[in-house]
Chains A and B, each alone.
Chain A
């Protein structure tokens, strides 16, 4: 029997499997209150990146926690919950864009102090401006298949964004732990293993500013 009670909701499930073990770890924050998107969008104070140069910033994001049952057949998601509020947005136009999990974040130049590490994680984002002009960046959109979540004292991701123009950029997160000793979270999306092998990136085609 599995019980979970939070301020907003309680759930109760009977687990059919007698064997296996329960794993609790952070997952890609794209599931609550229900899954409507594959994209995570960071909005932050404009960062001016000169041509052909790199800027490293730290952002925060809401943490979602997954409860998995691991048995011989693999991992089964039992529950996902969060201590952070959710908000969604639209990247692009209604006919051509995508729904995104919206994250408003302050910009930090080092790992910020986290009041509640169970509610807030840290993204280290390296922005490389590959264009010939200076670019102002205020948003970064990541696709779920390219999100690699690590955890230890807090939840973290290392992201990279290559800006080709004001309109086009490519994003991905790295397959390396944020810090030595951090563990990789159990992949939530079934397709992720394939995506990781292919080093999937997301092409932002609706601009990096605004």
Chain B
């Protein structure tokens, strides 16, 4: 085993190299073990994106500790290393300013949590469902199924509309009925329909009222609160049901119309 004392560079021997490599391998194995352990026991408690970030930070810390333990074997001067490291950090920092900004924005997104995976959101002109929040970017899948990657800095500094941040939301319908029909009856038919629908919330209660005497129709307004998670499906299916119900009740939904009165031309013209 004399070869271990053979000098490779300066005062660094194969022994030092071996210890360093073992240090790093142990650090990588420990980091991997931590990753597996955290995934097993925290995956049902923490969002995947956040868990990934925590795991990566811990892995980097563990591997840096491994490096730090291995470095004295090379008899490095820590002060020199810090100086070199600090300079490198500034150089890399300047070169990757945008990345740093995105990274910090990503951290703030995780802390403030204006959006999270699974939320339906609008960021600038992009509307869709948040798929993942990475360290540098946020992935949104639009309703057309398009993959959109938005840098975290853009997400953080933009106006965000989160359609499901609140557990309940309201939507409305405008229903026009003919002037010949009984508006009160149409309102009762719609109220009965809303009462029977499971996801039209009992509280806040829905509201159906005569809103306007329009040019071609008497306009009813229907205001409905429902769970945010199902609002779109409720919105789409209820309008069809309202149309069918009020038509079954004999109410007419009129087309736009204009009454034209024709007068006979005066004699002699």
In the complex, given contacts A94-B225, A102-B201, what are 7 additional A-B residue pairs having Cβ atoms less than 8 angstroms apart? A88-B199, A90-B167, A94-B166, A94-B167, A95-B165, A99-B167, A99-B201
In the complex, are the beta carbons of A90 and B168 less than 8 A apart?
yes
Interface residues of A in 95-113 (CB under 8 A from B): 95, 97-99, 102, 104
Check A36 for interface membership: any CB of B closer than 8 A.
yes
- Determine the interface band of chain A, counting residues with CB < 8 A from chain B: 20 to 34
Check B196 for interface membership: any CB of A closer than 8 A.
yes
In the complex, are the beta carbons of B202 and A37 less than 8 A apart?
no
In whole Å, how far is A195's beta carbon from the nearest beta carbon of chain B? Answer: 13
Which residues of the partner chain B approach A87 to less than 8 Å between Cβ atoms? 198, 202
Tell me the complex Cα distance, A87–B227, Å.
11
A-to-B contact residues, CB < 8 Å: 32-34, 36-37, 43, 85-91, 94-95, 97-99, 102, 104
In whole Å, how far is B133's beta carbon from the nearest beta carbon of chain A? Answer: 21
Check B214 for interface membership: any CB of A closer than 8 A.
no
- Determine the interface band of chain B, counting residues with CB < 8 A from chain A: 10 to 19
Which of A86, A97, A102 contacts B168 (CB under 8 A)?
Answer: A97
Chain B interface, DSSP helix/strand/loop, else mixed: loop
Which residues of the partner chain A approach B204 to less than 8 Å between Cβ atoms? 90
In the complex, are the beta carbons of B198 and A33 less than 8 A apart?
yes
Check B229 for interface membership: any CB of A closer than 8 A.
yes
Which residues of the partner chain B approach A99 to less than 8 Å between Cβ atoms? 167-168, 201, 227
Check B230 for interface membership: any CB of A closer than 8 A.
yes
Tell me the complex Cα distance, A44–B129, Å.
39
Tell me the complex Cα distance, A130–B258, Å.
67
Which of B166, B169, B227 contacts A37 (CB under 8 A)?
Answer: B227
Tell me the complex Cα distance, A90–B230, Å.
14
Check B269 for interface membership: any CB of A closer than 8 A.
no
Which residues of the partner chain B approach A86 to less than 8 Å between Cβ atoms? 198
Which of B166, B196, B199 contacts A95 (CB under 8 A)?
Answer: B166
Which of B203, B225, B230 contacts A34 (CB under 8 A)?
Answer: B230
In whole Å, how far is A202's beta carbon from the nearest beta carbon of chain B? Answer: 16
Which residues of the partner chain A approach B202 to less than 8 Å between Cβ atoms? 43, 87-89, 102, 104
Which residues of the partner chain B approach A90 to less than 8 Å between Cβ atoms? 167-168, 201, 203-204, 225
Tell me the complex Cα distance, A90–B204, Å.
7
* Residue of B165, B196, B199 contacting most chain A CB atoms (<10 Å): B199
Which of A36, A98, A104 contacts B230 (CB under 8 A)?
Answer: A36
In the complex, are the beta carbons of A98 and B167 less than 8 A apart?
yes
In the complex, are the beta carbons of A88 and B227 less than 8 A apart?
yes
Residue of chain B at shortest CB distance from A139: B203
In whole Å, how far is A161's beta carbon from the nearest beta carbon of chain B? Answer: 19
In the complex, are the beta carbons of B196 and A97 less than 8 A apart?
no
- Per-residue CB proximity of B222-253 to A under 8 Å, as 1/0? 00010101100000000000000000000000
In whole Å, how far is B111's beta carbon from the nearest beta carbon of chain A? Answer: 19
In the complex, are the beta carbons of A36 and B169 less than 8 A apart?
no
Which residues of the partner chain B approach A85 to less than 8 Å between Cβ atoms? 196, 198
Residue of chain B at shortest CB distance from A104: B202
Which residues of the partner chain B approach A32 to less than 8 Å between Cβ atoms? 198
Tell me the complex Cα distance, A90–B201, Å.
7
Given the known inter-chain contacts A85-B196, A94-B168, A99-B167, please indicate yes or no for A36 contacting B229, CB distance below 8 A. Answer: yes
Given the known inter-chain contacts A94-B168, A97-B168, please indicate yes or no for A89 contacting B198, CB distance below 8 A. Answer: no
Which residues of the partner chain B approach A102 to less than 8 Å between Cβ atoms? 201-203
